[in-house]
Structure 1
Amino acid sequence: MSEADMSEHAPDNVVYLARTERGQGRAIPGRVERLRRHIEGRLVGTLRQGLEEAQEQLHQRANRGDDEADTYRRDMQMVRLHRHDMEEVLRAGLEYRFAGLIDPASVDPPPLPADGTPAARTLAHLRSRTRTTTEPATRALDAAIPRVRVGEPLNPLAPAPMADLLLRVQQRPPLSEPARELVLDALGRAVGRVLPDLHREAVTQLTGEGPAAAPGAPASTTFEEEARHAARAVRSRDRVEAARQRVGEEIERCLEGRRPPGLIEQLIRDAWARLLLLVHLGDGPDSENWVRHCAVMERLVWSVDTPPDETSRRRLVLEIPLLLHEVADGLRQVLHDPFEVSKLLRALEAEYLRCLTRNDPNLARFSANDDSAAATHREGDVRRVAALPEGTWMEILGAQGERLRARLAGHAPDGRLIFANRAGFKVLERSTEELAAAVANGQAKLLDDHELLNDGLSRVIRRLVERRAGHGE
Structure 2
Amino acid sequence: FDFIFDDQALATEIKALIGRLQIPFLKAAIADKSFFSNEQHPARTFLNTLAKAGSQWSGGQGVSDPLYRLIRETIFKVLNDFDLDAALFTKLSNEVDDFISRQEGQRQRIDERLQEVEQGKVLAEQTRRIVMVALQERIGERELPAIAVELIKTGWQQVLYLTCLREGSGSDHWQRQLKVLDVLVWSVLPKKDDVAKGKLAELGPKLLVSLRKGLESIGFDGSDGQRLLDGLAKLHGELLEPEMAAEAPRQMARIVEPEPEIAADSETDSDNSVEELPIDHPTLKKVNTMKSGQWIEIGQGEGSKRLRLAANVRHGTKLVFINARGIREAEYSGMALAQAVEAGEIRVVDGSPLFDRALESVIGDLRRIREQGATA
Shorter-chain-normalised TM-score: which range?
A: 0.3 to 0.5
Return the TM-score normalized by structure 2: 0.35
Return the TM-score normalized by structure 1: 0.28
Higher RCO, Cα 8 Å, sep 6+: 2
